[in-house]
């Protein structure tokens, strides 16, 4: 079965939501909280170790009900069934979308079960030193070479779970930037370094360039030249991997039915399993699987991914906020915003609908962010007093991992305080009375009071989780994956292809031949001038 092709703007709910926007234009978050004593009941969800509060978004009970009608009119339940059934919902590439199968512990797919066993045994042997380098030494460092989905997920997860890591250090090389490659390798010992080359296609320029540099580095530095002991690869393109010189036992599979940006739940997660051990990696999958079950089985109004997707659609399509900030209140999650950029922007950055027509409503948001409280001292000024409406996801944890209560209380008081400030704001009357109480003179008050006014009424969503561990991180990432899916369904786009990344790649490879030869082709003046300049330097 293929996904329904429903233009959301033709639904009854969409029209009602346009009316809601006008009705709500006279309200503020403060007035909504005053009027609705039961706001938290219907705009928050407690589930497992998650406490999700989306009540600080500018909507009321009626709006929320209409949003759930929108989800129904756009056939969200059918679509979820198609996703989990393995229907070919990635229509433009003729593929199923089954990353959820990689974390399904009831799966009957023997290949996935074999992969899990292989990840378990391989990572354990790297950790305990059974698998050694060609000079017989235990590995101390692992370098993941891959880009996009073959890099961002494992990199973010290993950073997020570094509290749980063992003595092995995992490094990442992604960009086709020889300087970065050299900077990573310069501190490593070739005898004790193991490379994981991750590429679904095994044709990606960046990854193959970096993998070849790593191969040369091993060959140059180790007399035995046995690169096989130092490399494994994860790919769908087994022949290309063998041609690269990788041992058959050291090849891990990827599947057509798993998109790169959803792939870390399978073999692409090998570096995660090496870093935190297979038992922890398994917990990470279990967490994601629990969220899958919640997404599949919960009613719309208590379904975390669906509700958060609906809120995001409300903010984007009706309140006109086209960017969305992700603010985790823990340094462990500092890579989450860039990971979610690929997950959300590569998936939903589309302007053609599922019928092949140009879309005339807003789709994929711009995703950005950083960790609180750092971001408070960087870009929060614009969120508080700028002219743009920027909804934020605040992600926090009730417990810290190292147990510094004093710091954690301060951190989390900022978490709550910022959301409260964004919602409440501070009007001129309040500013003036505060300044008077602090004995400012009349002239200073007149001169400066306006600048101290905060409009407030800025939407935030709080995702408060008991503790950061492999299981809760799995839940969080799976939650965002299902938000991406739900938004794509409602926006009537195909979330699982990424045709938009192709053109630049093709042009870059043509231009490379011109940079390296004496010929410059027929281009616009600006491109020609760039090529001329680069010929002299590269």
For residues 196 and 395, which CB has a smaller minimum distance to ligand F6P in the complex? Answer: 196
Evaluated on CA atoms 290, 292, 296, 301, the torsion sign reads positive
In the residue annotation, 516 being an active-site residue is answered as no
- Spatial contact of 185 and 234, defined as CB atoms under 8 Å apart: no
Q: Which of 137, 505, 510, 533 is catalytic?
A: 505
Q: Which of 65, 77, 201, 385 forms a contact with ligand F6P (CB under 6 A)?
A: 201
Q: Catalytic pick from 346, 471, 481, 482?
A: 346
User: Quick one: which of 190, 260, 305, 328 contacts ligand F6P (CB under 6 A)?
Assistant: 260
- Contacts with ligand F6P: how many residues (CB under 6 A)? 14
Widest CA span of the chain, in angstroms?
Answer: 82
Active site residue 443: no
Tokens of 191: 């005898």
For 378, other C-beta atoms within 10 Å of its C-beta total: 10
Marked catalytic residue, from 106, 186, 358, 377: 377
CB of 8 to ligand F6P, least distance (A): 26
Q: Is 417 helix (H, G, I), strand (E, B) or coil?
A: helix
Complex with ligand F6P: residue 201 or 221, whichever CB lies closer:
201
The distance in angstroms from the start CA to the end CA of the chain is 51
Q: What are the residue ranges of helices labelled H in 345-404?
A: 347-348, 380-385
Under rule CB under 6 A, residue 192 binds ligand F6P: no
Judged by CB under 6 A, the chain residues 342 through 401 that form the site for ligand F6P are: 346
Which range of residues in 1-9, 194-202, 330-338, 401-409 is near ligand F6P by CB under 6 A? 194-202
Q: Which two tokens stand for residue 241?
A: 């991997």
Piece of the chain touching ligand F6P by CB under 6 A; list 196-204, 283-291, 310-318, 419-427 = 196-204
Q: Which is nearer to ligand F6P, 117 or 256 (CB)?
A: 256
Q: Does 501 bind ligand F6P (CB under 6 A)?
A: yes
Using CB under 6 A, pick the residue from 57, 63, 79, 150 that binds ligand F6P.
Answer: 150
Q: Where are the beta strands (DSSP E) in 113-230?
A: 141-145, 169-173, 193-198
Q: How far is the CB of 262 from ligand F6P (least distance, A)?
A: 9
Assess 199 for contact with ligand F6P (CB under 6 A): yes
What tokens were used for 153?
Answer: 């997920």
Burial (0-12, 13-18, 19+ Cβ within 10 Å), 478: buried
Stretch that binds ligand F6P, among 195-203, 331-339, 414-422, 474-482 (CB under 6 A): 195-203
349/364 Cα distance (integer angstroms): 5
When the beta carbons of 146 and 425 are compared against ligand F6P, the nearer one is 146
Helices (H), 298-404: 304-313, 336-340, 347-348, 380-385
Does the annotation count 346 as an active-site position? yes
Task: Say which residue the tokens 């339940």 belong to.
Answer: 77
Cα-Cα-Cα-Cα dihedral sign, residues 252, 257, 260, 262: negative
CB of 142 to ligand F6P, least distance (A): 18
Structure tokens at 266: 């399978």
Window 119-148: residues binding ligand F6P (CB under 6 A): 147-148
**Does the footprint of ligand F6P cover residue 149 (CB under 6 A)?**
yes
Give the residue numbers marked as catalytic: 346, 377, 505
Binding site for ligand F6P (CB under 6 A): 147-150, 199-201, 204, 207, 260-261, 346, 498, 501
């Amino acid at each position: 079965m293929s996904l329904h092709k429903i233009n959301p703007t033709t639904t009854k709910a969409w029209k009602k939501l346009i009316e809601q926007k006008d009705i709500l234009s006279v309200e503020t978050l403060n007035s909504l909280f005053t009027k609705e004593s039961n706001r938290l009941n219907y705009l928050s969800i407690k589930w497992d170790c998650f406490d999700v509060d989306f009540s600080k978004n500018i909507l009321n009970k009626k709006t929320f009900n209409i949003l759930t009608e929108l989800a129904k009119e756009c056939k969200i339940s059918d679509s979820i069934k198609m996703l989990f059934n393995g229907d070919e919902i990635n229509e433009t590439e003729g593929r199923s979308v089954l990353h959820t199968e990689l974390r399904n512990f009831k799966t009957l797919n023997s290949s996935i079960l074999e992969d899990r066993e292989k990840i378990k045994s391989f990572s354990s042997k790297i950790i305990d030193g059974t698998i050694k380098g060609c000079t017989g030494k235990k590995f101390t460092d692992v370098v993941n070479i891959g880009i996009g989905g073959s890099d961002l997920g494992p990199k973010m997860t290993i950073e997020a779970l570094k509290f749980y890591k063992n003595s092995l250090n995992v490094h990442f090389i992604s960009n086709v930037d020889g300087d970065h490659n050299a900077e990573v390798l310069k501190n490593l010992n070739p005898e004790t370094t193991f490379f994981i080359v991750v590429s679904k296609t095994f044709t990606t320029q960046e990854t193959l360039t970096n993998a070849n540099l790593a191969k040369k580095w091993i060959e140059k530095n180790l007399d035995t030249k046995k690169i096989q002991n130092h490399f494994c690869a994860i790919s769908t393109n087994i022949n290309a991997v063998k041609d690269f010189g990788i041992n058959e036992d050291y090849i891990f599979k990827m599947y057509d039915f798993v998109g790169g940006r959803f792939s870390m739940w399978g073999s692409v997660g090998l570096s995660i399993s090496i870093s935190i051990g297979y038992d922890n990696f398994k917990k990470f999958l279990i967490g994601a699987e629990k969220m899958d079950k919640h997404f599949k089985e919960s009613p719309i109004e208590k379904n975390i991914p669906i509700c958060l997707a609906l809120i995001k659609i409300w903010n984007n399509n009706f309140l006109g906020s086209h960017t969305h900030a992700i603010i985790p209140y823990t340094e462990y999650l500092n890579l989450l915003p860039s990971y979610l950029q690929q997950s959300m922007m590569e998936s939903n950055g589309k302007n053609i609908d599922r019928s092949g027509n140009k879309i005339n409503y807003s789709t994929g948001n711009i995703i950005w962010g950083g960790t609180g409280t750092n971001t408070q001292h960087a870009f929060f000024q614009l969120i508080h007093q700028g002219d743009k409406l920027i909804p934020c996801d605040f992600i926090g944890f009730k417990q810290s991992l190292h147990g510094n209560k004093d710091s954690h209380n301060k951190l989390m008081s900022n978490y709550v305080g910022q959301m409260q400030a964004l919602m409440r704001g501070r009007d001129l009357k309040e500013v003036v009375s505060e300044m008077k109480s602090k004995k400012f003179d009349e002239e200073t008050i007149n001169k400066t009071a306006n600048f101290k006014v905060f409009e407030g009424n800025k939407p935030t969503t709080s995702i408060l989780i008991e503790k950061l561990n492999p299981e809760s991180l799995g839940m969080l990432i799976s939650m965002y994956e299902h938000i991406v899916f739900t938004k794509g369904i409602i926006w009537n786009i195909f979330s699982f292809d990424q045709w938009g990344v192709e053109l630049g790649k093709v042009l870059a490879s043509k231009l490379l031949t011109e940079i390296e030869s004496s010929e410059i082709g027929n281009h616009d003046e600006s491109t020609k001038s760039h090529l001329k300049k680069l010929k002299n330097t590269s």
